[in-house]
Amino acid sequence: MKKKRYGIILALLAALIFTGCQTKRAEKPAKTNLELAKEKAEAVLEAKVIKKQKDAYLIVNREEDGKAAELYTMKSEEELTEGELVNIYYNGIILESYPCQLPEIYAIEKVGKEDCLVSLYLDIFQELYEEDSGLNSDIKEIGVNVKNVKNLTEMEKEALIYLIGRAWNLEAFATDYEALKAEGRLSEDGYYYEEGILFTVEATEEEKNSFSFSAEKWRSGLGAIGYSNGRAKKENGKWSYEPGDFWIS
C-alpha cells in the first residue's frame, strides 16, 4: 500500500515539474520589433542625421569602408534630431537618385549622438547670400570652397553643398578660385565669375565647444564681401555664431 501511495505522489510531482517547465517555455518573452527587423533586414546602413527637410531626413553614411553611397534621404515616423547616429535596417535596395533613397526601411535604431555643424555653416552662407544681393544677379551656379573646414567630414561637406544648391535652386559644387580659373569659368583675366558666385569659408582656432571662422562671397575682383573674425560657440547643447567684422570690396 505504501509503495502504491509513494508511486502516486512521485507521479504527481513529475506532472507538476513537467507543467512548470511548459509554463516557463510559454513565458519566454516575445521578440521586439527591433529584433524582428534585424532578422528580416538584408542590409544595415550606419548613418548620421544631418537635417530634416519637410517630410524626410537628409542623412550621411558614416561607414568607413566607403562601399555605400554617401548621401541619402529617408522618411521616418519617429522624430530624429541633427547629429543623431542611427543604424537603419532595410531590404538592401537603394534607389540610385541623388541623394540616394531607401524605399523600404524595417527599423531605425538610435545608437548615439555627435555634433552636426552643417546647419550652422548653411546659416552663415544664407546670411552672406542675402548681403549685397546685387552680386547674385543672374547667377546660374554656386561654387563652394570648404577645403579648410576641419570640423566637417567629407560626407558632411557634400551634404552642405547639396543643401546650398537646394536653398537657391541652383547648381552647387565643390571648387576653389584656382579650379574655376583652370576650368575656364572665369573671365580671361580671372577677375570676374559671370555665371556664378564663389562661397569660401575657413575655420580656425578650433576648440571643443567653439571655433573662429572667416567667410567670403566672391563675384569679381571688385565685387566681393565677407566676414572676418567670426566666432561660433556651443552653449546648452546648441551652436550659434557671431559673424564678426563685415568687409566689402
Give per-residue pLDDT as tens, 15-56. Answer: 555 555 555 555 667 888 888 888 888 999 999 999 998 889
CA distance 105 to 56: 13
* Residue 226: strand pairing partners: 216, 247
**Can you give the pTM of this predicted structure?**
0.85
Q: Which domains does the chain have, with CATH numbers?
A: 33-113 (2.40.50), 118-248 (no CATH)
Q: Which 3-state string (H, E, C) describes 153-215?
A: CHHHHHHHHHHHHHHHCCEEEECCHHHHHHCCCCCCCCCECCCEEEEEEEEECCCCCEEEEEE
CA distance 35 to 68: 24
| Order of strands, sheet of 56-61, starting from the edge strand that comes earlier in the sequence | 100-101, 71-74, 56-61, 43-53, 84-90, 105-113
Q: Per-residue pLDDT tens for 130-149?
A: 999 999 999 999 999 999 99
Is pLDDT above 80 for 7? no
As given in the structure block, the three cell numbers for residue 147 are 577645403
* Residue 223: strand pairing partners: 220
The stretch 106-114 carries a mean pLDDT of 95
Q: Per-residue pLDDT tens for 60-78?
A: 998 765 555 689 999 988 8
DSSP 95: B
Query: CB neighbours of 87 closer than 8 A, spacing ≥ 6?
Result: 44, 45, 46, 47, 108, 109, 111
The rounded radius of gyration (Å) of the Cα atoms in the chain is: 28
For position 242, what pLDDT does the model report?
Answer: 97
For position 200, what pLDDT does the model report?
Answer: 98
Query: CB neighbours of 208 closer than 8 A, spacing ≥ 6?
Result: none
For position 26, what pLDDT does the model report?
Answer: 52
CA distance 106 to 86: 13
- In 3D, which of 202, 127, 192 has the Cα closest to residue 164? 127
Query: CB neighbours of 114 closer than 8 A, spacing ≥ 6?
Result: 48, 83, 85
